[in-house]
Amino acid sequence: MKIVLLEEKTVSQGDVSLDEFRALGQVTGYPLTPQDKVIERVEDAEAVIINKTIFTREIMEKCPKLRYIGLCATGYNNVDIKAASELGITVCNVPAYSTMAVAQQVFSYILHFASRTADYNADVQSGGWIRSDTFSYFTIPTFELSGMTMGIIGFGSIGSAAARIAKAFGMNVIASTRTPKTAEGVTFVSTEEVFKKADFISLHCPLTENTKGLVNSEMLKLCKPSAYIINTSRGPVVNEHDLAEALNSGIIEGAGLDVVETEPMKADNPLLGAKNCIITPHVAWAPVQTRQRLIAAAADNLRSFINGTPKNKVN
Q: Which residues are catalytic?
A: 234, 263, 282
Q: What is the CA radius of gyration of the chain?
A: 22
**Cβ 177 vs Cβ 163: under 8 Å:** no
Please list, in sequence order, all residues whose beta carbon lies within 8 angstroms of the beta carbon of residue 291, skipping any fewer than 6 positions away: 11, 12, 15, 16
Coil, strand or helix at 126: coil
Give the 3-state secondary structure of residue 152: strand
**CA pair distance 247, 23, nearest whole angstrom:** 50
- Please, which residues have CB within 8 angstroms of residue 172's CB and are 6 or more apart in sequence? 147, 148, 149, 150, 187
Complete edge-to-edge strand list for the sheet that includes strand 68-71? 26-29, 2-5, 47-50, 68-71, 90-92
Q: Tally Cβ neighbours within 10 Å of residue 185.
A: 11
Q: What is the DSSP letter of 265?
A: P
Sign of torsion, CA 246 249 252 254? positive
For residue 22, give every residue at least 6 positions away whose Cβ sits within 8 Å of its Cβ, in sequence order, or none.
none
Closest to 45 measured CA to CA, from 22, 73, 66, 76:
66
Write b or e for each residue in 51-85: b if 16 or more Cβ atoms lie within 10 A of its Cβ, otherwise e: bbbebeeebbeebeebbbbbbbbbbbeebbeebbe
Burial of residue 42 (number of CB atoms within 10 Å: 0-12, 13-18, 19+): buried
Q: Quick one: residue 185, left, alpha or beta (phi over 0 = left, psi -120 to 50 = alpha)?
A: left
